[in-house]
Amino acid sequence: MRDNNSIRVSRSTRDLAYKIIQFKEKYNKENSKEPTVEQIAKELEVKPEDIAFSLDAIQDPLSLQEPVYNDGTENIYIMDQVSDQKNTDESWTENLAIMQAMKKLNNKEREIIMRRFFDGRTQMEVASELGISQAQVSRLEKSAISHIKRLYE
């Protein structure tokens, strides 16, 4: 651990954060209100996103196991409040099933599916790369999808 912190934050980032805090305190005393991010950025001659980055960088990290609410019978933790819609158990099992089904395709069908749906290429691009017509790509793609559906059902 360096600087008594578990996360290393550069000196320049920490210095900027402390300048921001000083400016905010001074501005608040003089104007009885908080300055905007734009006002701080203009005063310190930095980009507005650097303001947020610097202030976030000096915050102590929180554990996902940190309780955020307790009703006397049960705790709710930060982890309970963080949601990951992309990496759900369902998507993981679906991806596993699709990858297993793709192993059963022939090489050309697998290549077309990979390029079309995993690499995001158009049928024309795939046709050009494989040296076949767009109509052949379309036919093979349709056949491969049909094959995967049969295996997946």
Domain residue extents for the chain: 1-63, 99-152
Q: Which residues contact 48 (CB under 8 A, 6 or more apart)?
A: 37, 38, 40, 41
pTM above 0.75, yes or no: no
Mean pLDDT over each residue of the chain, to the nearest integer: 86
Question: 99-152 has which CATH code?
Answer: 1.10.10.10
98 three-state secondary structure: helix
Q: How far apart are CA 84 and CA 30, in angstroms?
A: 44
Q: What is each CA distance from 60 to 4, 13, 56, 63, 100, in whole angstroms?
A: 11, 14, 9, 10, 43
Q: Quick one: tokens of 142?
A: 């349709």
| Higher-confidence position of 89 and 40 | 40
High-pLDDT (> 70) share of the chain, %: 90
Q: Quick one: tokens of 1?
A: 């651990």
Of the pLDDT bands very low, low, confident and very high (cuts 50, 70, 90), residue 2 is very low
Backbone angles phi, psi at 11, to 5 degrees: -60, -40
CATH class of 1-63: mainly alpha
